[in-house]
Amino acid sequence: MNLSDSFMRATALLILGVFFVGCDQQSAAPTAAPSSTEKHYSHKLSDKNASPETLALYNNLAGLRGKQMLFGHEDSLAYGVNWEGDLDRSDIRDVTGSNPAVYGWELGGLELGHEKNLDGVNFKQMQEWIKAGYSRGGVITISWHMYSPVSGANSWDKTPTVHELIPGGGKHEEFKAYLDTFVAFNEALASTDAAGNKNYIPIIFRPWHEHNGDWFWWGKGYVSEQDYISLWQFTVKYLRDEKGLHNLIYAFSPDRSRIDLSKFDSDYLYGYPGDEYVDVIGLDNYWDLGHQANTASADEQKAGFIASLKGIVKIAQRLNKIAALTETGNNGVSIPNLWTERILNPILADEEAKQITYLMVWRNANTAREKTVQSYAPYPGQATEEDFKAFFAHPYVLFESELPELYR
Ligand code: BMA
């Protein structure tokens, strides 16, 4: 091989190499992992300026639909039926070895400057648990049983209050000060990175829940539908537009017991504040899981449970939002095989119901402290412990230890 030959070959190889590298770059470009800000999301949030992590959470939950559903528990780390005071424990973990994937927390009392919420949970400690849960990849959701700024009594008070809170109302300024306590709470959860940027924890915020029931001062009968809508819209506009919170995903959650399944949409949408103010089409359903006032047979309740989930999923699909069972459970967990026979299997058998993104059971009140039975999750020795382990083991149900990355 003479010099010019090898020169020609080298040149040819070089040209080929450049060509292939070029091809490679071209074909790689569209599939390269985009950064969270560049990522193309099919779902939008009501907050057009939502933080990348918040939008990522929403879209990742949307991406799991039909394949997997997250399991959540209220106050899981704060106490259990038979324990209190441990800083790193959960009845769910005692039974399964994992924490729940979704952590529910409650603000009632924060607005009054209390150190502890209405259930005795210290707010500072709650913030530590929220940060820890988020750092492990868990999802945070927050509700608020707010005291009435009109009567001073708790959320079960029936004094008409809402009209005074909305713009033009006599207690509007006080109401803003109540909301400010959450702004400060949220700020305290934020961390600052090396570059000095603040990082806020995405929160599924679920205010003014079960408003179609008549047990809270914001419930049906104590407020007009229009005033309820104004209350919700003001809450969002104040937090999002005035206070600049961009880590909130807003969940709307009427109660199933006040919904007639034969007119699901119109009953469900009572008080709906509008697509620009809601992200999660939620539902609180204790009714179809053996609620003490429900006289329907187990089969009828099973059918109602699935019909209600299909109802929210259809609305969510129509609006390009996600659906979730924001509160549920059977008090005392006394239904045998509740987890598999009443919840999991019926959901798996229905392609629409299967599209819900998470379900969350309510709290396991500490029996000694609260002197009452109020528990919605199993604990060691509880009658449904084995059934719950089967529920945990099913690949469709995600607990914290099984979570994919949800924030990127
Ligand atoms: C309710 C009950 C109450 C509790 C409230 C806020 O549904 O569990 O005992 O105070 O939620 O967590």
User: Does 3 have pLDDT greater than 60?
Assistant: no
Residues 316-351 pLDDT 10s: 999 999 999 999 999 999 999 999 999 999 999 999
Q: Is 116 near ligand 1, meaning CB less than 6 Å away?
A: no
Whether 20 is covered by a domain: the verdict is no
Per the CB < 8 A criterion, the answer to whether 388 and 99 are in contact is no
pLDDT of residue 342: 98
Whether 105 is covered by a domain: the verdict is yes
Q: Is 237 near ligand 1, meaning CB less than 6 Å away?
A: no
Q: How far is CA 108 from CA 105, 113, 254, in A?
A: 10, 10, 19
Whether 46 is covered by a domain: the verdict is yes
Q: Is 209 near ligand 1, meaning CB less than 6 Å away?
A: no
To 10 degrees, the CA torsion angle through 264, 268, 273, 277?
A: -90
Whether 143 is covered by a domain: the verdict is yes
Residues 165-177 pLDDT 10s: 999 999 999 999 9
Using most ligand atoms within 8 A of CB, pick from 74, 366, 374 the residue to mutate for ligand 1. Answer: 374
CATH classification at residue 150:
3.20.20.80
Name the residue range of residue 196's domain: 32-402
**How is 299-346 classified by DSSP, letter by letter?**
HHHHHHHHHHHHHHHHHHHHHT-EEEEEEE--TT--STTIIIIIIIHH
User: Does 13 have pLDDT greater than 50?
Assistant: no
| Closest-lying ligand 1 atom to the alpha carbon of residue 75 | 12
> Beta strand pairing status for 191-192 and 198-199?
antiparallel
pLDDT of residue 39: 65
pLDDT of residue 8: 43
Using most ligand atoms within 8 A of CB, pick from 74, 118, 210, 373 the residue to mutate for ligand 1. Answer: 118
| Closest-lying ligand 1 atom to the alpha carbon of residue 106 | 12
Average pLDDT of the residues in 189-194? 96
Q: Is 210 near ligand 1, meaning CB less than 6 Å away?
A: no
Using most ligand atoms within 8 A of CB, pick from 145, 155, 366 the residue to mutate for ligand 1. Answer: 145
Q: If you count them, how many residues does the chain have?
A: 408
Residues 108-156 pLDDT 10s: 999 999 999 999 999 999 999 999 999 999 999 999 999 999 999 999 9
Whether 1 is covered by a domain: the verdict is no
Whether 63 is covered by a domain: the verdict is yes
Q: What is the number of structural domains in the chain?
A: 1
Whether 311 is covered by a domain: the verdict is yes
Using most ligand atoms within 8 A of CB, pick from 363, 371, 374 the residue to mutate for ligand 1. Answer: 363
| Closest-lying ligand 1 atom to the alpha carbon of residue 370 | 9
Q: How far is CA 327 from CA 14, 174, 196, in A?
A: 64, 29, 37
Mean pLDDT score across all residues of the chain: 93
Q: Is 119 near ligand 1, meaning CB less than 6 Å away?
A: yes
Phi-psi region of 128 (alpha: psi -120 to 50; beta: other; left: phi over 0): alpha
User: Does 270 have pLDDT greater than 50?
Assistant: yes
Per the CB < 8 A criterion, the answer to whether 341 and 122 are in contact is no
Distance of CA 161 to the CA centre of its chain: 27
Residues 362-385 pLDDT 10s: 999 999 999 999 999 999 999 999
Whether 97 is covered by a domain: the verdict is yes
pLDDT of residue 26: 36
Per the CB < 8 A criterion, the answer to whether 339 and 388 are in contact is yes
Half-sphere exposure of 204 (CA within 13 A, CB side): 32
User: Does 14 have pLDDT greater than 90?
Assistant: no
**Residue percentage of the chain with pLDDT more than 70:** 90
